[in-house]
Structures are given as structure tokens and as C-alpha cells.
Amino acid sequence: MHNKSIEEVLKHHTDSWMAIDGVEGTGIGLFKDKPCIKIFSSKKVEKFKSIIPSTVDGYPVIIEETGIFHALDQQ
């Protein structure tokens, strides 16, 4: 059982994760059909294994190498 909602956990940690070089974004996803925290990275996942824990407040943290995010031109 979790003490905090996954949204609360994500909100609490996103700023510190986004301050890490190579972290492009965060979100909520599924891992083995259960909610997880997703960290999107422009660098190799191994770089973050010693910095970002594999679970936070009971939720699994999954790091995905996605490359750099770019905003689309809205016209």
C-alpha cells in the first residue's frame, strides 16, 4: 500500500530529476500492469542507475532512453 498517490510522488520529485543532465521529462506509465514513474532520458540509462532509485515511495521507476525532446512548431 502506498502512502502517497503516484501523482503526488511525481510532483514532489520531478524538479530534482529534471535538474539532472540528460533527463528530458517525467511521467506516469505502466510496468507489469501497475502504475510506475517514467523518466525520459537523452543519455544511456546506465548513467542514471546510481543517481535515480529503482523505486520511490513504493512505485517502480523506469528510465527510458528517448533522445532529446523538441517542441513542435504550432502553426
- Distance, in Å, from the CA atom of 60 to the CA atom of 13, rounded to the nearest integer, reads 13
Residue whose C-alpha is closest to residue 1's, from 59, 54, 52? 59
Q: Tell me, what DSSP letter sits at residue 73?
A: P
Classify the C-alpha dihedral 29-61-42-73 as positive or negative: positive
Cell numbers at residue 25, please? 521529462
pTM over 0.75: yes
Q: So where are the chain's domains? A: 1-44
pLDDT tens digits for 9-60?
999 999 999 999 999 999 999 999 999 999 999 888 888 888 999 999 999 9
Residue 3 has pLDDT above 90, yes or no: no
- Distance, in Å, from the CA atom of 39 to the CA atom of 71, rounded to the nearest integer, reads 18
